[in-house]
A and B are shown apart, each in its own frame.
Chain A
Amino acid sequence: MPEATLLANPVKKQIRIALRNCGVINPETIDEYIGKDGYFALGKVLTGLTPAEAIKVIKDSGIRGRGGAGFPTGLKWEFASKNNSDQKYVVCNADEGDPGAFMDRSILEGDPHSVLEAMALCGYCIGANTGYIYIRAEYPLAIERLKIAISQAREYGFLGNSVFGTGFDFDIHLKYGAGAFVCGEETSLIHSMEGLRGEPTLKPPFPAESGYLGKPTNVNNVETYANIPVIFLKGAAWFSGIGTEKSKGTKVFALAGKVNNVGLIEVPMGVTLREVIYEIGGGIRDGKAFKAVQTGGPSGGCLTEKDLDIPIDYENLIACGSMMGSGGMIVMDEDDCMVSIAKFFLDFSVEESCGKCSPCRIGNKRLYELLERICTGKGEMKDIDRLRNLSEVIKDTSLCGLGQSSPNPVLSTLDNFYHEYISHVEDKKCTAGVCRDLMEYFIVEDNCVGCTACARACPVGAITGERKEIHLINLEICIKCGACMEKCKFDAVILK
């Protein structure tokens, strides 16, 4: 057979656990899931392990929450199991709100049963018989496939009364998010499930003590649950054999931005960013130079060349000033302005702040305004000091995870790209050529044919030049409207 051109590097850097069935089985057919040992973990645990033994398996596996903070899942289950109550709940957080992360959606669309099975397992472990999946309303296909999966699982008896004839009852219902990033935070999510504004409340009490409707509640995200059945099938030792000392297993990343092979990847903890970006991601697009990689979404930070060889795990990312987050990984190249990137994330945090606590409600707005000033050439050196102090106070005093991490993009760009801030403030230059207010229009002599189109378009008469001679823009007069550039047919007007 003749060799075909390959679209990616065939090196097997990835290992698919959470994504094991995505792109493999038909998500709308439960038989295909069963064909992949689906619901075997549930059968095995219900018929062979006590809840305490089952929790021990999860604890031994070392799996930590994949939603962002990385709290040990087994410990979380243990807390919920130890709080006695007539009613407890299992909640799946599928309110994936990180702009640039879509692994949870892909899992729900590609392998919904794995999540259902894991929730039932969790229910058995903590003593709950009702589960809720809190899912973004913006995910119609995932909702559709979940509905199909739930009805099939009920039909087969994997959900409902006395699963596998063991007397264990468990059922799952859907609750819909309505577009509020803060609802990714557990207490906000629970309030939203209760039909309230998704505002966070102080922890403690943790949901494991007092969650949905005041009852002990275990909240994990989709990717965490998707790992669970495999851990029971292949054993805690197998799972903990993958990854680093403190971070076990794999992590799914949504690799996006300026890499060639944008996509969903699942890598063992401990691979380096360099491997991810260059070997899996196929390097930077259009041969441009790598500048930064942003992980952890609006709560994370921007990492640079110097961080590329650090093994990815929860601790290392935090040490570098970023975080694992839910798994967005956005690669940036030389054309990206890091001040603008920080501004972009702050814009997001301003929009998504719930408004309950003052540092987040007002502080993020002020951070945004400072960045806006810097990007438009109005920044002063004292603004940079203010940025840092404000960022630190917001982190220190905000009520929930959103405010406690929203300044991270500012702090990490200040740490790693201080020179870009300085050039915006002192030299009034945006080297990446992104901040329009800091750029000026020029005519490239080699391209200009002297057609006079630009001069005629200029509303303020800033362009001079005789017909068939090279034209010139008077920067003192230019109002940067861009009309000349639009009119020029010879690419002779540039912005730099």
Chain B
Amino acid sequence: MSSVKIELRKDQTDKIHTICDSFGNQEGELINVLHKSQETFGYLPAEVQELIAEKLEISAAKVYGVVTFYSFFSMTPKGEFPISICTGTACYVRGAETVLNEFKKQLEMEVGETRTDGKFSLSCLRCVGACGLAPVVQVGDKTYGRVAPDDVKGIIEEYLPAGL
């Protein structure tokens, strides 16, 4: 359940309507609509899902059922700098878990959380396909390869020069 309650502005509801219209308000395009909406809002708050349900004439429960099925969709806003640790097999055997633990320790947060200051969010992803560079960490669009636990502090500091 979303803990964040938001009120959509007129331009935001319009935007969702436009997205739904662009897919012909087709029920079968739900996943594409959700992708586009998440691209626009950064996440999929309940209010957005309700609007989509209304436009596509399906139940909000169904939309929520789909959103919670796919790991790509999120109901909480991501941090300004989303940190993703690849936990694919290649990264795992090359020590992704220790890197992940180091991030958790340094940031004092768990996977799936967004820090209260909104700076960082931490997530795991399954194979970015850069197995040659394992273990791999992504911060926003930037990819770090062959990351060792010792590198973690430095990576975080790149985004927080003033320290934690």
Contacts and interface: CB of A to CB of B under 8 A. Distances in A.
Interface of A: 96-102, 105-106, 137-139, 175-181, 192-199, 213, 254, 256-258, 262-263, 294, 297, 328, 330, 332, 336, 341, 344-345, 348, 351, 354
Given A194-B28, A195-B66, A330-B93, 5 more contacts: A101-B127, A178-B73, A192-B31, A256-B89, A332-B93
Interface stretch (B1-9, B10-18, B128-136, B156-164): B128-136
User: Which of A197, A198, A341 has most chain B Cβ within 10 Å?
Assistant: A197
Interface of B: 26-32, 34-35, 65-66, 69-73, 87-90, 92-94, 125-132, 134
A293 to B, nearest CB: 11
A58 B122 CA distance: 47
A102 B69 contact: no
Nearest to A332: B93
Given A263-B132, A348-B126, A178 B34 contact: yes
Contacts of B131: 100, 102, 254, 256, 262
B127 A137 contact: no
B31 A344 contact: no
A178 B89 contact: no
Contacts of B94: 257-258
Contacts of B127: 98-102
Contacts of B132: 256, 262-263
Nearest to A345: B89
Given A178-B70, A254-B131, A294 B31 contact: no
A263 B130 CA distance: 9
Contact of B69 (A175, A176, A197, A213): A197
A254 B132 CA distance: 9
B134 A256 contact: yes
Contacts of B30: 195-196
Contacts of B125: 138
B29 A100 contact: no
A180 B65 CA distance: 13
A345 B126 CA distance: 12
A109 to B, nearest CB: 9
B136 to A, nearest CB: 11
A195 B31 contact: yes
B35 A197 contact: no
Contact of B70 (A98, A180, A258, A336): A180
User: Which of B34, B73, B94 has most chain A Cβ within 10 Å?
Assistant: B94
Q: Which 7 A-B pairs have the closest CB atoms?
A: A102-B129, A195-B30, A100-B89, A178-B70, A256-B90, A99-B88, A179-B72
Contacts of A101: 127
30 contacts: A97-B126, A99-B127, A100-B89, A100-B127, A138-B125, A175-B32, A176-B32, A177-B70, A177-B72, A178-B35, A178-B70, A178-B71, A180-B69, A180-B71, A192-B31, A194-B28, A195-B30, A195-B32, A196-B66, A197-B66, A197-B69, A198-B69, A198-B70, A213-B28, A254-B90, A256-B90, A256-B93, A328-B89, A341-B93, A351-B71
Contact of A195 (B28, B87, B89, B130): B28
Given A192-B31, A262-B132, A263-B132, A336 B66 contact: no
User: Which of B27, B65, B127 has most chain A Cβ within 10 Å?
Assistant: B127
Contacts of B35: 137, 176, 178
Contacts of B27: 195
A332 B125 CA distance: 21
B43 to A, nearest CB: 13
Contacts of B31: 175-176, 178, 192, 195
Given A106-B129, A197-B66, A262-B132, A178 B90 contact: no
User: Which of A105, A176, A256 has most chain B Cβ within 10 Å?
Assistant: A256
B106 to A, nearest CB: 14
